Each structure stands twice: as structure tokens, then as C-alpha cells.
Amino acid sequence: MPVHNAEIAEMFDQTAELLEIKGDNPFRTRAYRRAARVLEGLPKSAAAMLSAGEDLAELPGIGHDLAGKIASIVETGKFDVLQSLKRELPGDLGEIVAIPGLGPKRVKVLIDELGVRSIEDVRRAVKSGRLNELRGFGPKLQKNIAAALAKPVAVKRFKLPFAEAEATALIEWLRGGLDGGQVVVAGSFRRRRDTVGDLDVLATSANAAAVGDRLAHYENVAQVIAHGPTRTTVVLRSGIQVDLRVVEEKSYGAALLYFTGSKAHNIALRNIAVDRGWKLNEYGLFSKTRSIAGAPEAEIYKKLGLQFVPPELREDRGEIALAQKNALPKLVQLSDIRGDLHVHSNWSDGDAPIAEMAQAARARGYEYMALTDHSRRVTVAHGLDRARLLRQIREVDRLNGKLRGFTVLKGVEVDILADGSLDLPDEVLSRLDIVVAAVHYKFDLPRDEQTERIIRAMDNPRVSVLAHPTGRLIEERGPYDIDVDRVMKAAKERGCCLELNAEPDRLDLTDVAAKAAKALGVKIAISTDAHSTAGLAYMRYGVDQARRGWLEPDDVINTRPLRELKKLIRR
């Protein structure tokens, strides 16, 4: 049974976590994580590429060492490095790392200081008050840990790229057995939530049983939970559950609407139908037994007197009222993006030279790219000091002299120090086209202190964009404790933009925060934080998040032509 990309990516992610707990070289840890993201984004399986004689080392962010490891996993189904780490670091470390607020670094502290090896060990440490002995385990974190331990075991949620890789392979398999008909993934996946609990697959076919049979015989199925004439539920080897429903063509639109959700959005639609004396369910819109609509999804909205609501907006956050007035926002699209404003090169912790990143950005149809390598404080990322940044400025000027129709903006991702000052002097920052400021340490400062730190950084008129504003890592680390409303208002007052970081582990701002920023009139930069040419592809996840946040092209600065953009980022 072939190993799928998602499984290899999961092995690499687990390896990165254990290496970080062990205190291994951070470059090695990052290499595994980047390789995992590359694998999740591949259009075909690594196994198929190897069978075709393709060299995986040519993939961005892979290299010969990791290519060899991938080949070994494909051949054996096992990863000896991960198995060795699990022997070296026994216990339930993966489960401990998954506790909200506990990342690998804090888990290492628990291991080294308290000898923690299991969830029960963590529970005992909380109850006994021993966490008070540890630096960085303040009252708020302890409260969050205790709350997480008190909850029932949560259903695992999967980050969007992982779910997308599984969905793409699955849909391809199902379509191979369909004689015409539709097959699509609905649910939170279609609404483009940043994490997905399961895959709701909807299909139309004259032979519903055959579609269910094909799913049950998919090579990646680990367990068949239920298998009936029109419904089949399986669990894939990755752990993600798939719920397949096969419907008649005449009900396809209603079923797609129903299974896309959200539940709150569907309830609001049903209430509108009831007010008209109708009934709305997964089979259609009915007046008693007479069908009013059912096949095209848009027709149901039309019959209810509503503008079609894009799936990303279907969360019952005011979209129904606007749809009744035909006043929904014209959401930003990937094709609106003219450039990427947060990109790293091998001058700091990126994988590729500046010219290679520029060529890859240009190949995406962009007009510009902001080079924003780390500043000197981030030593593990080989951050740039004053002298190296000045050399890089000259290098970018030389490169721009050769480019035609594309511009590399001179920039930096400058660290916000604990007191809110910046890691590089104004004299250097003034020579740049764009300054992206970010917090990379001291995440556990008290709320007021952390908020003031960020606002003081934005007080500097050189700062164009506040990067990954809340610092969250999805399913790994919660946001740092800040007054988000104060930060947004300060950004608006100072003319500083907020980043919507499109890196799938971050997607920071959240959709809710992006909507709040829009309401305040704060401009947003959707940027990938790419550390490789492959990372530039993350832009689509940022656009998904922006659409969930109701953002329109005018809300996003990198939908602007270069000349207009420069006016927005020079305060």
C-alpha cells in the first residue's frame, strides 16, 4: 500500500516537534517542517514521482538528504529518524505538545524540570502547583492548561493544506469511477476554515451504491465505519474521517447548500423559508410537496429573495441581512493580488537566493515582491545586522537593474524588542522601501505590557506593516495576550497596516480579526512569509482567510499597482 504525501508530512512534523523538544539544531527542525509543507502542496504523490524517475531533491526546500529520507519512507512505510526519537524521548509527548499553550519549547521545560512524560504527569503538576516553579508558566497559561485538561478529548482537526491534499487525491479517485455526475467536498473545507474536522463529500450518480463501493475500496482507507446505499463513512489512514453522501441530480444544489453549512447559516435560511410557508432541507426547497428549487445552489438563494452568499461568508455573521439587500461585499480574489510583501531569502533563514525568489514571484504574475529577511536579534535565523542589510540593499539595487516589469522592494522583518523599540536603527530603516515589524520572543509578557510594546513599535513611522499580529500558531500555540482592539485602533491612527500572514500554520489575522480590522478601516497586507519558492503558493490560503474576513480588494494593499502601493507603505 503506497505511502501518501500527507503521511510523510505528518512524520516530518512529528520529527520536528521531537527535535525541538530535544533542543536540536533549529535549522534542522525548520527543514523538516518546510519539507512537510512542500509535500502537502505537491500536485502528485512523492511515490509516483519516484516511480517516474523524478528527482525529489529538485523540489524547493527538500535537498538530497530529505529526498533520500522520503524515498526510504516510500519504500518501507517507516521513518527511522522518527522511530529513534520516539525511543529516545518516550512517553505521550505528542499529546502533551497538543495541549493549547504548550509548544515543544515549553514541553522541553516540563521534561527537564519536572520529569513530565505523560498527560497525567502534566495534570499532577498543575494540581500540585509545581508549574509555579517554572519560568514562563504564568497564571494565565496555567489556567489555560487546566481548562484544556478538564475538557473531553477533542476531535482532532486538520490544517487546511493537509485536508486539501487528502481531498484532492480522494476526489480524483472517486471521479475515476463516476460516469458523469458531480463530486465535491462541502462542509468547513468548502467554507475554507483554517482547520477541518472531517471531509463531507457530496456526489451525484445514477448508481449511488457504486460510488460508496469505490470509496470503501480506496487504498487510503483505514476503516469503514458505515456503508449503505447512499451514505458511506470511512476513516483514512491519516485519521481524517470522510462522510460521503450520494444524491439525485435534482437535489444537488440543496444538498450542497445543506452540507456546506454552517449550521447557523442554514438555520437562518430555513427560518426565511418557514416565514414564506415553505420548507428547506437537503432535498430542496418545497411548498408543501411541490418543489420550488433544488438543483442549482444559487437558485435556492434567489427563490428566498437573497443574493448568492459565497461559502466563505456562511457563518451567520450578518451575511443574511446584506444578502437581502443585495449588498454583500465583492470579496478579494487570488487574481487581485499583485505582489507578496513578506518574503525571505537565503540571506537569513530562507532556502533560495533573492533572484530565485524574485523569478518565482514574477512567474506567478506578480509585479513586485518585498524582500524581508530577519533582523539581527533572530540569531537562529541568521538575521541581518546593519552591515549585512546595507550589502543586501546594494544587491537588490543591482538585481532591479536587470529586471524588467518586476520590482524587488527593499525591506526587512525587523524584530520588536521587549521595550517596543526596533532591532535596527532608523538610519538603516530609512533606506528601505518597506519595514515589516514582528514579535519573535517574550510572548508571555502581561497583557498591558505586550500591548504597549506593539503600539510603541508602530509609533515608529518607518514601520509599514505589523507582521503576524497575534503570534498564534494553529493547533500549536495560542495568541499572545494583547488587547487586539487597542492594537487595531493604534494601527488605524498611525497609518500602519496589519498583516494577514498566509502561512498555513499561522493564518494570522484570524477571519474574525480581519473583519474587525476592515470595520475600523485598517488596511491589510496578505503576505506568505515564504521561506522558499514553494512557500509563495501559500497566498491562496491567505486569500481564503481574507474572504472569510469579508475583505474586498480595496481593503488589501497588495492589490494595488506598485506606484500606489509605495504611497500606502511610506507613512
- Domain boundary at 83, 117, 150, which? 150
Domains contained in the chain, number: 4
Please state whether beta strands 497-501 and 524-527 pair in parallel, antiparallel, or not at all (unpaired): parallel
How many other C-beta atoms can be found within 10 angstroms of the C-beta atom of residue 346? Answer: 16
Nearest 5 degrees, angle CA 346-CA 349-CA 352? 30
Q: What is the CATH number of the domain that holds 374?
A: 3.20.20.140
Domain membership of residue 509 (yes or no) is yes
Domain membership of residue 329 (yes or no) is no
pLDDT of 33 = 87
- Structural contact between residues 219 and 4, judged by C-beta atoms closer than 8 angstroms: no
Domain membership of residue 465 (yes or no) is yes
Please list the rounded mean pLDDT of every run of 10 residues in the chain (571 residues).
80 87 83 85 82 86 88 90 83 73 80 83 87 82 81 74 91 86 95 96 92 93 92 92 94 96 96 96 91 90 97 97 98 98 94 94 97 87 90 97 95 96 95 97 92 97 97 87 96 97 95 97 97 93 98 98 94 74
Same domain, 133 and 175: no
With CA atoms as reference, report the closest residue to 261 among 171, 191, 193, 163. Answer: 191
pLDDT of 44 = 78
Same domain, 289 and 342: no
- Work out the burial of residue 505: count CB atoms within 10 Å of its CB; fewer than 13 is exposed, 13-18 middle, 19 or more buried: buried
- Domain boundary at 191, 214, 247, which? 247
pLDDT of 367 = 98
CA pair distance 323, 308, nearest whole angstrom: 7
CA 157 to chain CA centroid, Å, is: 12
Domain membership of residue 256 (yes or no) is no
Domain membership of residue 422 (yes or no) is yes
Same domain, 375 and 469: yes
Q: What is the CATH number of the domain that holds 50?
A: 1.10.150.110
Say which amino acid occupies 147: A
Same domain, 367 and 469: yes
Same domain, 192 and 141: no
Same domain, 379 and 461: yes
Ramachandran region, residue 91 (left: φ > 0; alpha: ψ -120 to 50; beta: rest) = left
Same domain, 75 and 101: yes
DSSP lists the bridge partners of residue 158 as 196
pLDDT of 1 = 61
CA pair distance 73, 37, nearest whole angstrom: 17
Please state whether beta strands 198-204 and 183-185 pair in parallel, antiparallel, or not at all (unpaired): antiparallel
Domain membership of residue 535 (yes or no) is yes
Q: What is the CATH number of the domain that holds 219?
A: 3.30.460.10
Same domain, 403 and 428: yes
Residue whose entry in the numeric block shows the C-alpha cell 494570522 = 508
pLDDT of 155 = 64
Q: Is the dihedral of CA 250, 251, 254, 256 positive or negative?
A: negative
Q: Is the dihedral of CA 336, 338, 341, 343 positive or negative?
A: positive
- Structural contact between residues 542 and 529, judged by C-beta atoms closer than 8 angstroms: no
Domain membership of residue 171 (yes or no) is yes
The domain in which residue 77 lies consists of 5-150
Same domain, 440 and 526: yes
Start-to-end C-alpha separation, the chain = 57
Same domain, 474 and 562: yes
Same domain, 301 and 343: no
- Alpha-carbon distances of 366 from 233, 339, 360, rounded to whole Å: 42, 5, 9
pLDDT of 103 = 76
Same domain, 559 and 518: yes
pTM of the model: 0.84
pLDDT of 90 = 65
- Structural contact between residues 16 and 32, judged by C-beta atoms closer than 8 angstroms: yes
Q: What is the largest CA-CA distance in the chain?
A: 77
193 phi, psi to nearest 5 deg: -65, 155
pLDDT of 20 = 85
Q: What torsion do the CA atoms of 455, 504, 188, 9 make, to the nearest 10 degrees?
A: -150
- Work out the burial of residue 146: count CB atoms within 10 Å of its CB; fewer than 13 is exposed, 13-18 middle, 19 or more buried: middle
CA pair distance 175, 168, nearest whole angstrom: 11
- Alpha-carbon distances of 484 from 47, 76, 479, 512, 518, rounded to whole Å: 45, 48, 10, 11, 13
- Domain boundary at 220, 247, 274, which? 247
Domain membership of residue 340 (yes or no) is yes
Q: What is the CATH number of the domain that holds 267?
A: 3.30.210.10
- Structural contact between residues 292 and 303, judged by C-beta atoms closer than 8 angstroms: yes
